[in-house]
Amino acid sequence: MPKTDVSQLSRRSFLKLGAATASALAVGQFIAPPVARAARQAHLLDSNGSGYISTMCEMCVWRCGVRAKVVEEKVVKLEGNPDHPHSKGKLCARGQSGLMTTYDPDRVLTPLIRVGKRGEGKFRQASWDEALDLVAEQMLSIKSKYGPEAMVFSSTHNLSQPLFENLLYGFGSPNYGTQRSLCFNAMIVANSITYGMEEPARDYSQVKYIILTGRNLTEAISTSETSDLIDSISGGAKVVYIDPRFTKTASKATEWLPIRPGTDLAFHLAMINVIIAEKLYDAAFVDKYTLGFDQVASLTMSTTPEWAATLTGIEAGTIRRIAEEFGAAGKYALAHNGWRTSNFINSFPTERAISILNAVVGNWGTTMFPSSGEGAGVLGSPPQPAYPRISAQRLDGVPWMYPFVPLKIGVFQQLRDSIVAGTPYEPHGWFISRQNPVQSLPDRQKTLEAFQKMDLIVTMDILVNDTDWFSDVVLPEASYLERYDPLVPMGNQVYIRQPVIEPQGEAKSALWVYKELGTRLGLADFFQYKDEVDYINQQLAPTGIPLETLRLHGNATLPTSTGSDIYEWSTPSGKVELFSSLLEKAKFDPVPIWTDPPQPKAGEFYLLTGKVGQHTQFGTQNNQLLHKYQDVPRLWMAPEAAKSLGLSDWDTVQVTSPVGTVQVALQVTDAMRTDCVYLTPGFGHLSMALRTAYGVGASDSVLHVTYTDPISGGQALSQTFVSVKKA
């Protein structure tokens, strides 16, 4: 196999590695014979080779239904599946640009083995056999020298996760990193403690009053919820949007409250104070279904709107009026838990306060419902043995430091910090699937330090992203339009992700990679399927649904199981726990209590983060279509703040935090509080193999300081303070 220096490859060389080109995209891509043959057999295409193939989007984690439009055996367009509850016939900009990700000229289409220094971007191409043999040999060597716990595994949330878990738990490692602690740990742990479920479902069909605390729904991933919100606004619902930044959601809201960062908790405690003091709560629901109302009433006696006004910067009269309006809406009110509330060091009690607010107005069964969660349901699975017993502590501190964090969620930033510290033990290898911790974890320098401590880094991805750039072996995964994935039910429906085009180059599905690697590691019993189709057939076996039916329609109805009582909660008391005995036992505040969070010094700003609708975290910036739709990402700053620093629009500024410095162009805008700046995440890529995204914008991961909430394990991404000056 030839040597490949990815950093030196010209665009022409990269194109030669794959079967597809950008010009092929412009005219539509022929679907390759095996996929076309299967599509014809499944009656998806007519005699002219035209029709639709149903599958599922993976440009983000929301999994909208897609119908790939095929004309004379060419895929010409991706459309939303009208029968899918997430897409409802529509795809967002990212979903519509999916073909461009599949045909990205920077796709990695053969396994790569590092030949230069780690981080130099020098690789040679390798065969699958050579790459997998090398990975298996080195993983087994690490296991025999240091024990299975010396291998760390991390992955994004995706449909092939059960097989990834077989790989890591079958291998015998407890060390499992996900992205969740960088996103919504505070929300899910607060809900688990209050309602006994990670995230109750929200229903907008009857909602009359909505409070969105930093939940920028119109630029969020969950687009079906966005459309439910817009429908409810059209139907007359009032929306109060609380965020230091004027986002696109603020533009749709009835009222925008530019709250002081980190004081959402004070606002919600004052809401509870008014609702209880003015007896606006649902006494019948509270009496019958909740625990700890008296303790909450007593602890919120002093959290009046006047008290909260001094902290939040929102007038007491406004807080009181909103509380009264929310209380009057009663069961038709909804306080959204949000994600951005997970960005401050007090996000956990804030999330608890929001959960309590919902409970006391009795909206359960009207705007909030139990969620079914994600599980196999009535689907089958291939047989497999029990996992070996694992006695080593997890490096991310779950549960020994963070007893309330679910094992499947973890505390990723703590895992990275333990690697750097070498305690409680030193890991030696890291298998990273579809993940980019260089961009996602706070304090990028520390992540690079962790990489340098590894004897082995293996990554699996469709591009050489910033983390793959530091990898020893890069395994090329098939894109979502080129592969099958395991099935996961949605309610009583199951939807399929199936190939729309043949995998390019030598890219392979995760189902194939994990089985091949698992077999080399002596774990074949955990991967008892012949191929992807056999895996799905084993899943469908108990349902009696033929795969061809699922392929043809894209979805099928599952046999229903009997519904459970919606007024049962998996908490110790079986009730909604406003007061938590679990927290009390663990010596944490059993009800949310205000303590002053850290504040920026004079001359410093809160560094805020938040999504834009054109991109999914760190994974879509190299998509050439989305790149065109994205304005140059700049640092937002209020005019008064810019003036005080002698700065103007488009000035290049230097932004400095306690852990790093970046340079970026300035955007002077009225859409910010004067004490905050905002940087769009996902830019400032390190990998020169991302030739569209490389050199664009700056990364907030360079600036973020690691602050971990001791209860939920969530990273407080907006707790970093920065100084700004002209570069």
Residue 204 Cβ vs ligand SF4, minimum distance, rounded to whole Å = 17
Q: Which range, of 62-70, 439-447, 453-461, 595-603, touches ligand SF4 by CB under 6 A?
A: 62-70
Among 95, 554, 610, 660, the residue binding ligand SF4 under the rule CB under 6 A is: 95
Shortest Å, Cβ 93 to ligand SF4: 8
Judged by CB, which is closer to ligand SF4: 94, or 340? 94
- Binding status of residue 682 toward ligand SF4 by CB under 6 A: no
CA distance 43 to 403: 52
3-class secondary structure per residue, 175-219? CEECCHHHCCHHHHHHHHHHHCCCCCEECCCCCCEEEEECCCHHH
Residue with tokens 């000056």: 725
CB of 92 to ligand SF4, least distance (A): 3
CB of 59 to ligand SF4, least distance (A): 3
Q: How far is the CB of 55 from ligand SF4 (least distance, A)?
A: 11
Q: How far is the CB of 349 from ligand SF4 (least distance, A)?
A: 31
Instruction: Specify the stretch interacting with ligand SF4 by CB under 6 A; choose among 11-19, 86-94, 238-246, 606-614.
Output: 86-94
- Sole window of 52-60, 190-198, 244-252, 644-652 interacting with ligand SF4 (rule: CB under 6 A): 52-60
Cβ-based nearer residue to ligand SF4, 57 or 99:
57
Which listed range, 88-96, 136-144, 542-550, 688-696, lies at the site for ligand SF4 (CB under 6 A)? Answer: 88-96
Q: Which residue lies nearer to ligand SF4 by CB, 64 or 463?
A: 64
Q: Which residues contact 587 (CB under 8 A, 6 or more apart)?
A: none
Q: How far is the CB of 134 from ligand SF4 (least distance, A)?
A: 34
Nearer to ligand SF4, 223 or 290 (CB): 223
Cα distances from 291 to residues 71, 193, 358, in angstroms, run 60, 12, 14
| Min separation Cβ 57 and ligand SF4, Å | 3
Q: Is 91 in the site for ligand SF4 (CB under 6 A)?
A: yes
CB-wise, 193 or 626, nearer to ligand SF4? 626
At closest approach, how far in Å is the CB of 374 from ligand SF4? Answer: 15
Task: Single out the segment in contact with ligand SF4 by CB under 6 A; choices: 89-97, 305-313, 386-394, 515-523.
Answer: 89-97
**Which range, of 20-28, 56-64, 466-474, 505-513, touches ligand SF4 by CB under 6 A?**
56-64
Q: In terms of CB distance, is 92 or 676 closer to ligand SF4? A: 92
Instruction: Single out the residue of 14, 52, 62, 683 in contact with ligand SF4 (rule: CB under 6 A).
Output: 62
* Eight-class DSSP state of 387: P
**How far is 497 from 547, CA to CA, in rounded Å?**
12
* Number of residues binding to ligand SF4, judged by CB under 6 A: 12
Contact between 63 and ligand SF4 by CB under 6 A: the answer reads yes
Q: Which helix (H) or strand (E) holds 664?
A: strand 660-668
Q: Which is nearer to ligand SF4, 91 or 322 (CB)?
A: 91
Residue 140 carries which side chain, given as an amino acid letter?
Answer: L
Identify whether 399 is preceded by a cis peptide bond (ω within 30 of 0): yes
CB of 183 to ligand SF4, least distance (A): 15
In the bound state with ligand SF4, the residue whose beta carbon lies nearer, of 91 and 335, is: 91
| Interacting residue with ligand SF4 among 59, 187, 239, 361 (CB under 6 A) | 59
Identify the helix (H) or strand (E) that includes residue 667.
Answer: strand 660-668
The answer to whether residue 60 forms part of the interface with ligand SF4 (CB under 6 A) is yes
Q: Which CB, 619 or 684, lies closer to ligand SF4?
A: 619
By the rule CB under 6 A, 615 interacts with ligand SF4? no
Does residue number 336 form part of the binding site for ligand SF4 (CB under 6 A)? no
- Taking CB under 6 A as the criterion, the residue among 57, 359, 501, 664 binding ligand SF4 is 57
Which residue number, 80 or 338, has a Cβ lying nearer to ligand SF4?
A: 80
Q: Could you say which of 38, 92, 272, 583 contacts ligand SF4 (CB under 6 A)? A: 92
Tokens 């897609």 correspond to: 66
Contacts with 461 (C-beta within 8 Å, 6 or more apart), sequence order: 108, 433, 434, 467, 468, 474, 475, 476, 477
Tokens of 213: 């605390």
Select the residue whose beta carbon is closest to ligand SF4 and give its number. 95
Q: How far is the CB of 701 from ligand SF4 (least distance, A)?
A: 22
Torsions phi, psi for 721 (to 5 deg)? -110, 140
Q: Binding segment for ligand SF4 among 57-65, 406-414, 671-679, 713-721 (CB under 6 A)?
A: 57-65
Q: How far apart are CA 635 and CA 653, in angstroms?
A: 8
Smallest distance, ligand SF4 to C-beta of residue 58, A: 7
* Window of 60-68, 269-277, 300-308, 350-358 that interacts with ligand SF4 by CB under 6 A: 60-68
Tokens at residue 592, please? 């949310």
Q: Which stretch, 27-35, 59-67, 560-568, 589-597, contacts ligand SF4 (CB under 6 A)?
A: 59-67
Is residue 239 within 8 A of residue 338, CB to CB? The reply is no
| Closest among 434, 466, 438, 504 to 6, alpha carbons compared | 466
First to last CA, the chain: 45
For residue 239, which phi and psi values (nearest 5 degrees)? Answer: -120, 120
Binders of ligand SF4 among residues 164 to 183 (CB under 6 A) are: none
What Cα–Cα distance (Å) separates residue 5 from each residue in 10, 112, 125, 433, 498?
A: 10, 10, 10, 22, 33
Q: Are β-strands 660-668 and 635-637 bridged in parallel, bridged antiparallel, or unpaired?
A: parallel
Q: What is the CA radius of gyration of the chain?
A: 26
Stretch near ligand SF4 under the rule CB under 6 A, chosen from 58-66, 190-198, 243-251, 587-595: 58-66
Longest distance between any two alpha carbons in the chain, whole Å? 76
Least Å from the CB of residue 643 to ligand SF4: 39
- Pick from 9, 35, 64, 460 the residue near ligand SF4 by CB under 6 A: 64
CA distance 124 to 119: 14
For ligand SF4, which is the closer residue by CB, 79 or 120? 79
Q: Is 87 helix (H, G, I), strand (E, B) or coil?
A: coil
> H/E element holding 581?
helix 581-585
Secondary-structure percent of the chain, ordered helix, strand, coil, rounded to 5: 35, 20, 50
- Distance CA(559)–CA(228), nearest Å, equals 28
C-alpha to C-alpha distance for 45 and 558, rounded to whole angstroms: 26
Q: Which residues in the 198-237 window bind ligand SF4 by CB under 6 A?
A: 221, 223
Give one word for 580, left, alpha or beta, with left for phi > 0 and alpha for psi -120 to 50. Answer: beta
Cβ distance to ligand SF4 smaller for residue 118 or 157: 157
Distances (CA, A) of 582 to 295, 353, 514, 571: 15, 16, 38, 9
Query: Which C-beta is closer to ligand SF4: that of 98 or that of 349?
Result: 98
Q: What are phi and psi of 149, to 5 degrees?
A: -65, -10
In the shown chain, the binding pattern of residues 117 to 146 toward ligand SF4, with x for contact by CB under 6 A and - for none, equals: ------------------------------
Measure Cα distances from 243 to 213, 305, 447, 535, 720 in Å: 7, 18, 30, 45, 17
Q: How far is CA 506 from CA 57, 127, 477, 599, in A?
A: 22, 9, 9, 52
428 vs 611 by CB, closer to ligand SF4: 611
Instruction: Rank residues 259 and 494 by Cβ distance to ligand SF4 and give the closer one.
Output: 494
Residue 94 interacts with ligand SF4 (CB under 6 A): yes or no: yes
Q: What residues line the site for ligand SF4 (CB under 6 A)? A: 57, 59-60, 62-64, 91-92, 94-95, 221, 223
